[in-house]
Structures are given as structure tokens and as C-alpha cells.
Chain A
């Protein structure tokens, strides 16, 4: 942004501030507050009209009022039906006068009541606010405003939109404003040429909303020239959308794969490396998710400002908690059962029942709320209709980081060396001075700990309930076995190929049939390669 433009924004801001100062608007204030009072109505129809009236005042104080209404912060007091903007503070609401912007006291939950809106009004409000914030100094707000104006499609916005466009410097915002302009022109202009031009302009934007608009125009007009032009543009937009949809599908597949990978990777250690058929693996994931919940509770109560960091604390916490539980399980139960892998199935199944019930006893059977930090909420929405949600992106990256870390531990550390030594030849490892008991315990702890941090990640996309683990255990075993037991690389490739296969099947076969096909696929695949994707070959197999 140039210095000049910065200056011009500052100037505008100054004007706005000056304009909103109540002193200069005393005469105006009464009328405005009267109109604001009309917002207090039970009838949604009347409320809609009242909103229009508030907008029509052109008063800058209207923006905070309408925003409050949109966010559910506009209340009326039961005693005198006065309308207030409120802010929740503990158990009471702080009341602000909408016309003066001054705080004038507080009210309890019983004394004040929210002015409710519905989706139609919400759309109306957003459009109106869009028009009013098109010239906001904040580029992000202007971008949002431009999108809201596009959606509202209100011809009354045309004027202000054009004005805002002249002033706009930011490329992205300008593009969005142009899109909104073209949309309004296409829908409401009388002149055919303008409409045809608008179709062409919209053709540059390949997003589903444009497609929706074009569809609407095609259905709504009788003008053949317009229909032809819109249809042509639409097919362009749609074909481009279709090819982006494949990218989207791939992303979804990779994302599902990363979830499977996270769920399975701990099992790849306890089951794949140690040979323990660990039916309580899912419960380790669940414990990780509950640890996240606990950590977030602490943050909510003591450091609400740092909530975004809660997951970073939850990761080591979950690793520690599940790792310790893992050690306890290994020392208490599993070590007595080495060499009897099927009996570990029995014992760990019992254990999983007990762990679920413990959680149920302590936290209750209902879902616990685990929040998404702001950097994991929302999505990258490209202008091509492709939506990449942040939580999925983070989970993909996280799963890869986990597997990389594991690879490093297994190959580059002393512990990794000992771990491999013990699992390959226990007696030999013992005779070389490795305390195999401890290596077992730590290996199991590592697997459990990894399951725990997987729980942190899964808490971001799934229920946090005592049943969390159960829903992943079967998939985890499928992934490990499909990839080849004892092979981390196999687990990685297995998880992603199952995820992608599932997601590419889903649009054609539906979610249920898609999953069935994947399962049948696994069964057939195992016929072809009875030891999974990355099986060891040669003599070692028989051992």
C-alpha cells in the first residue's frame, strides 16, 4: 500500500470518528434512538422493517447496533423495554446505550432478554452491514463485506459498491467487489448489454456461488441471448470446478488417510513391532483426547487468553499420561503374556472395557467439549470452490511429523536400536547387556504415547466420548495389517492408500458401500499378498 493510500484511509477514518461523535449529533440522536427502539419486536416481519429503517438512517451508530443484533448481543430490558447492546461479564450483562455508546449499568439474565433473529434476517443484516462496511479501514472487513454484498444481491448496494470500488486499492478485495458488482448488475440491470458484460466478468470467477447465480439467471430469464451466454460461461465454470473437485477429493482422501495413520501408528508399534494384539489401543487414543479436554479446561479456567496454545500443552501432556498408563499396562499385565499373543488379546480387551468404564465413571458418558484453537478453525477457501479446512491441513502435517519422528527414533537413537534388537532376538539382546524388560516397557509406552497424541489430534474432528477409541480400533488394525505388520513405512502407505481409495469411491458408491468396497478390497488384497503391502521376503518370514 502506498503512503498516499494509507493517508487517505487515515483521513477517512478521521472523518468517520468526527462524524460519530455524539456531541455533533444531539438533534439526530433522539430520532435514531427512537428507530432503534423499534427493533424490540417479537414479529420477525416487523423486525425486518425496523432493520431497514435503522439502515436508512445512514447513521454510523447503526453499525454497532446491527452487529450486536447479528451476534445476539442486542437485548431489551424487561422492565422498561429499552433496547441495549450488551456484553456478558460473568453472570450479568453490561448494558450499553445504542445511541450514546455509553455504559449505563448491568442486568441479570432474568432482567434482560435477547432480541432473536432468524436466518432470513441474518442474511438481511449481513447484506446491510456489508454495504456499510465496504469502506471500512480494515481490509479483512471489506473483503467480508464484498462477499456479503454478493450474497445479498441487493440493487440498492450498487451505488455504494461503485464508490467503494473507486477507492479500493487492495487487489483481492477489489476482485471480490467486482464480482459482487457483476452479480448485482447481472441480476438487476435492465440493459441487456450490461447483463451480458456481467456474465463475461463473472466467467472469470470459477466458484460454486457464481455457478449458482448463473443457474438462477438461466432459469429466470427469457432472453435467449442471455441464456446462451450464461450457459456457455456456466459450462466453463463447471468444468473448471469439476477439475478442482478432483483436487479436493484427493485432499479429502489424504486427510482421511492421515486420520487413519494417526490412529494406527501407535498400534504399528505395540502390535507391529512388539506383537502385542493390543485391543486397548483405541482407549489410549481416547485417553489422549480426554487429556486434551482436561488441559483445555485448565486453560479455560485460568488462562482463557492463551487458549490457542492449549493444544501445544496437550500434546506432551497426552504423551506423558498415555505413556505412563502404557508402562503400567506393560509392567502389570502384558509382560506376563509375552509369547502368548492371543492371550494379550483377551487381557487387553478386558482392559479396554475397564478403561472405558473408568472414563465413564469420572467424566460421565456424554461428549466433552474440546475446542478448536483459532488457527485450526475455518478453511482456506480458494476462488475455485476448493475448500481446505485448517484442522485437516494441520492433522495431515501432524501425522507426517509423527511418523518422521518415529522413523528417527527407530533408526537414529540408542533406544531405537535396542528396541529393534530386543524385538528381533531377545536372548541375544539380553546377553549383550540390554535390559529387555525396560526396553519392552518403554516401547509399549512409546506406542501408547503416540496413540495419546493421536487422541489430541482426533479430538479436533471427532466426539470426545468414552466410545471414541472403539470407533478407530478396527480401522487401525486394518491399516497395520494392510501395510504389513512391523513396517512403519507400510503403515504410512497403507493409511494413505486406504484413505484415498475410500474417498474416491465415496462419491460413486456412497459412504456405506464405499466402506464395504474398501473392506472387500482389503480381504482380496491380503489374498494376493498374505503378509501385507510391505512384507518381508525370504527365509526370515518363517521364523
Chain B
């Protein structure tokens, strides 16, 4: 009996000490927090990004680390559970004392983390395309904003090369990213002379797997005699059954092209793409891009993950760019202090994997090129169109009236993520 009590007390003591361990920062390493779900519904996408960060950390350490210290990755599993994201962020910053966090995929996880990084003045790199309408002092957005993905994609669909679509179907999973993107697109399409009657909008729940009705509806909508195209903001898991249904119902890309913003190489890996050849995706990166940086990256990735079949995708490039920029900024600032690094981030340049140079702007969004690729039968994309130069990521969309008024600029005189006038408007004139 005594033994049991002792064990119990011992266990309790360990438990408490585990909880109460204060933020002790080891002096000899720089800690990099990795906040990606390794279990639950989002593990399917996010695990890859965790591995990407680990690869980058390993690579940096091979080059001798940073500021003479080794980097140390601290991996936690927020388990696709949004409140857990907030808890883990707090744990990473307060308990582990990390200097930077790479993480999040879904908007809701970012929203959950946001108050915590702001409160504790942490630094988060968010590597996924998203709906915009946000600019936090403590977050760098390395994925695409709507104007870096959706608008160019629709431009392409409407162009002669893209088939000259006159009727657009907006299909999406029912959450904020598709809703906002489609709102922006609708107002953009209206501006382009496409009337509301020629736009169909449809939302499905997460993980929707029965697409029979909707695909049939699209076909019906397309039978109005005008060239029709589909813009898909369908999220992750639901895509495979969607494309299977498309293929089986015989919707060919040249009849009704589908352009997707959430379908990349990784999503196609679970799919026989032969019936889907010609459907489109818009990203800032495709694995098939022929560039030396890309080749190097792909080789390193395959070697790191020890699987010759693994693919690379856009959020991985965003992670890559974010990580590189951060290391450059740390070097420039000579410190991992968040405020110092933030200042050093502005204007930081990193070579894109697809050629060209990504630049971090003062609104915490990147300037990146936009590419449109066609699905090929080997699960890769063939680039059919790309922007002339880089497009500046826009935190606040010009196509939402309330948001068009806002500006994000974290440098003087604005120093603001969502202002309609600068915080320090009256500059000293003398």
C-alpha cells in the first residue's frame, strides 16, 4: 500500500513538474517550432510540411547552423484539433521557448493560433494559400493570397487560350476560404461582364464523398449553350471522389475545364489522372517546373524522405521560402529576437523554386509568380500559363467593399495590419 502511495505521489510530482517547467531557453541551440497536425483529418496534408521543415533544419545545420548555433526542431502534434493548436502554440513559445514557428494549414487553425502569437509576440510562418483579409504583425504569410491564385486563374479561363468561358460554376467546401474566394471572384466576374445568372455557386460539407448530384448539376448548367468552366475550392479529402466522379461521368477538360486552388501533386497522388488530363490548377509552384533550384529541392526531398515516389507541392515551396527568408533575416539581424527579425524580413529576397525571386512585402505577404498547370496522366502538371513577373500578395481584397478601404503595412508611417489611414500620418515635416 505504501508503495502505491509513493508511486502515485511520484507520478504526480513528475506530472506537475512537467506542467510547471518554466520557459527555459537552452543557450546552445535555436529552437524552431513545428506546428503541423500529424494525426486527425489534416495529417494527410500537414505531415508533409512537418517533414519539409525538418529537412530544412537538417540542411541548415549541415551548413553550420545559424549565428554559430545549431537549429533544433521542436515538433508537436496539434492533432487537427483547433483549440489544441492554440494550446500547443503557447506550449511552444512559453514552455519550449522557440524562436519561430512554422505551422498551420487550415484557416481556423491559424485563427486559433493568432491571438496567442500576438500576445506572446511570437513569429509564425503560414505556408498555405488562404482567403486573405488578415495581416498580423506576428505572422508571415508565404502562401498565396486570393489575388495570387484565384484572380489569375479566372483570367485564364476567360481568355481565348483557356477556352473563353462565359459561364462559371463556383464549387467549394463550405468554409471561409471558398466563401471569401468566391465572393471575390463573383464581384470580379461581374466586373468582367459575366452576369449573376451565368454564375452558379455550390457548397458542400467537408469530406463530401458523393458527388453524383453536383456533377450532374454542373453538366446541366453547362448545357445552356455558353462555354462553361468550373472554379473549384473544394478542400482536401473531398477532391479524390470529386475527380473520380468527373472522370466517370465523362466530363472532359476541353468541354468543361475545372480549375482548382486546393489540388496539387499530393492530392493527385491518390488518383488515376488519365481521365482528368487538361483540368487545371493554379499555384505558385508546380513540381514539374524545369528549374535548377527545383531539381535540387526535389532531389533533396526524395533523399530526406527516403521515397522516390514522393511528390513536392506548393505549400512545401512556401515553407521553403519562409524558412530561407527567416534564416537570412536572422543572419541580417544577428539575433533571433522576434522584433529584430521582423524588421529584417521586409524586402528579404529568396529565389523561387520556379525561377524568379520572391520578396517579402511590408504587408507580410510575398510577391510570387502565378502559374497555371494542366493535369497530366502521370499526376503532374504541365504549365500552360504564367504571369509575366511576380504578383504582390494582397492582404485585403479590392473586391470586397469593406476590405478595399484597408491597408496592411507594418512599416512607418502605417505600422498597421488593417488601417484606412496611417497610424503616424503626420510626419515631422521639418
Smallest CB gap from A124: residue in B: B254
| Chain A nearest CB, measured from B304 CB (Å) | 14
A118-B161, A465-B44 known; A215 vs B384 contact (CB < 8 Å): no
Interface check B398, CB cutoff 8 A: no
Cross-chain contact B377 with A367 (CB below 8 angstroms):
no
Interface check B207, CB cutoff 8 A: yes
Smallest CB gap from B50: residue in A: A365
Cross-chain contact B384 with A116 (CB below 8 angstroms):
yes
Interface residues of B in 195-232 (CB under 8 A from A): 202-205, 207-210, 212-214, 216-217, 219-220, 222-226
A216-B225, A371-B272 known; A366 vs B44 contact (CB < 8 Å): yes
Cross-chain contact B205 with A366 (CB below 8 angstroms):
no
Task: Tell me which of A113, A119, A215, A357 contacts B257 (CB under 8 A).
Answer: A119
Cross-chain contact A208 with B219 (CB below 8 angstroms):
yes
Q: How far is the CA of A118 from the CA of B290 in the complex (A)?
A: 18
Interface check B350, CB cutoff 8 A: no
Cross-chain contact A213 with B384 (CB below 8 angstroms):
no
Q: How far is the CA of A119 from the CA of B161 in the complex (A)?
A: 7
Cross-chain contact B270 with A506 (CB below 8 angstroms):
no
A120-B163, A365-B38 known; A248 vs B254 contact (CB < 8 Å): no
Task: Tell me which of B163, B164, B237, B248 contacts A467 (CB under 8 A).
Answer: B237
Interface residues of A in 355-380 (CB under 8 A from B): 356-357, 360, 364-372, 377-379
Task: Tell me which of A72, A213, A259 contacts B225 (CB under 8 A).
Answer: A213
Q: How far is the CA of A208 from the CA of B216 in the complex (A)?
A: 11
Cβ contacts under 8 Å, B385 to chain A: 118
Q: How far is the CA of A273 from the CA of B430 in the complex (A)?
A: 88
Interface check A392, CB cutoff 8 A: yes
Per the CB 8 Å criterion, the residue count for chain A at the interface is 70
- Tier of interface size on chain B: 35 or more
Q: How far is the CA of A126 from the CA of B163 in the complex (A)?
A: 14
Interface check A114, CB cutoff 8 A: yes
Cross-chain contact A119 with B205 (CB below 8 angstroms):
no
Cross-chain contact A151 with B255 (CB below 8 angstroms):
yes
Interface check A52, CB cutoff 8 A: no
| Chain B nearest CB, measured from A125 CB (Å) | 9
Interface check A461, CB cutoff 8 A: yes
Cross-chain contact B213 with A507 (CB below 8 angstroms):
yes
Cross-chain contact B250 with A387 (CB below 8 angstroms):
yes
A378-B248, A389-B245, A391-B248 known; A215 vs B254 contact (CB < 8 Å): no
Cross-chain contact A366 with B48 (CB below 8 angstroms):
yes
Cβ contacts under 8 Å, B205 to chain A: 511-512, 515
Cβ contacts under 8 Å, A391 to chain B: 244, 248
Interface check A176, CB cutoff 8 A: no
11 A-B residue pairs with Cβ-Cβ distance under 8 Å, sorted by A, are: A118-B385, A212-B223, A215-B225, A215-B226, A219-B225, A255-B210, A367-B271, A389-B249, A460-B244, A461-B244, A515-B205
List the 6 shortest-distance A-B pairs measured between CB atoms, nearest first.
A367-B270, A216-B225, A215-B225, A208-B223, A389-B248, A123-B254
A-B contact sample (10 more), CB < 8 A, given A212-B224, A511-B213: A120-B162, A120-B164, A208-B219, A219-B225, A256-B212, A360-B39, A365-B38, A503-B210, A511-B205, A512-B205
